[in-house]
């Protein structure tokens, strides 16, 4: 039984060992290839010409003639070359300035939009508060009006009750008077 377990473990260990060896060799090969490619890129960059050669600017129309350039002509071409380089640099600087200005304008627009939104929000809140105050005043007026109406109604009810009391007492008194008068008639 032990031998079967050891064989199973050994086979798994061998597989693991093979996998590790394969991965390490792949990694070293990839590293070497990567370094090789980096060197190639560096060599290619160094071979490239960054500027136009000076003598390409000096044009010779006739190929049969020998090329001979005076020192003045060489100096003027160098000056032209320097001037072109400076123009390129100025153009690059101008582009970056324009980029910054666009960015600043964009930020300013965003700030203005945020301010407008904030003002609109505050205005909306003020209007809401004003509406609530108006509603509260209207409710107070209505309550006062209702309370006045209730007082008037109570007063009219009171007056009506008093009037009814007086009328009923007058009716009683007139009944009593009639009965008294009637009793006097029968007594006579």
Instruction: Tell me what pLDDT residue 49 has.
Output: 57
Report the SS3 class of residue 106: helix
Q: Mean pLDDT, the chain, as a whole number?
A: 81
Q: CA nearest 84: which of 47, 57, 103?
A: 57
Report the distance separating Cα 112 and Cα 105, nearest Å.
10
Give the pTM: 0.37
pLDDT at 138 over 70: yes
Mean pLDDT of 134-158: 88
CB-based burial label for 46 (10 Å; 0-12, 13-18, 19+): exposed
Residue 6: per-residue pLDDT: 63
Give the residue carrying structure tokens 């904030």.
118
The angle at the Cα of 108, spanning 102 to 112, to the nearest 5 degrees, equals 145
DSSP 3-state of 68: coil
Give the DSSP per-residue string, 28-64: HHHHHHHHHHHHHHHHHHHHS-SS--HHHHS--S-TT
Contact (CB, 8 A) for 51 and 81: yes
Share of the chain above pLDDT 70, in %: 73
pLDDT for the residue 151: 84
pLDDT at 11: 80
Which pair of structure tokens corresponds to residue 43?
A: 């060599």
Q: Tell me what pLDDT residue 22 has.
A: 94
pLDDT exceeds cutoff 80 at 25: yes
* pLDDT beyond 60 at 79: yes
d(CA 103, CA 23): 49
Judged against a pLDDT cut of 70, whether residue 39 lies above it is answered with yes
Distance in angstroms (rounded) separating the CA atoms of residues 93 and 85: 12
């Amino acid at each position: 039984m032990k031998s079967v377990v050891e064989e199973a473990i050994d086979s798994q260990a061998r597989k693991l060992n093979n996998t590790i060896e394969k991965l390490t060799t792949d990694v070293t090969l990839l590293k070497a290839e990567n370094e090789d490619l980096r060197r190639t890129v560096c060599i290619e960059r160094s071979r490239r010409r960054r500027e136009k050669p000076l003598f390409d600017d000096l044009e010779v129309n006739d190929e049969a003639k020998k090329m001979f350039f005076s020192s003045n002509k060489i100096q003027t071409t160098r000056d032209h070359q320097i001037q072109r380089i400076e123009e390129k640099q100025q153009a690059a600087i101008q582009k970056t300035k324009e980029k910054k200005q666009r960015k600043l304008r964009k930020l300013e627009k965003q700030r203005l939009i945020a301010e407008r939104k904030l003002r609109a929000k505050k205005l909306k809140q003020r209007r809401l508060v004003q509406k609530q105050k108006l509603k509260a005043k209207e409710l107070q007026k209505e309550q006062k009006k209702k309370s006045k109406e209730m007082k008037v109604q109570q007063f009219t009810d009171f007056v009506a009750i008093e009037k009814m009391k007086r009328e009923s007492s007058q009716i009683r008194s007139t009944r009593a008077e009639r009965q008294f008068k009637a009793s006097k008639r029968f007594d006579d």
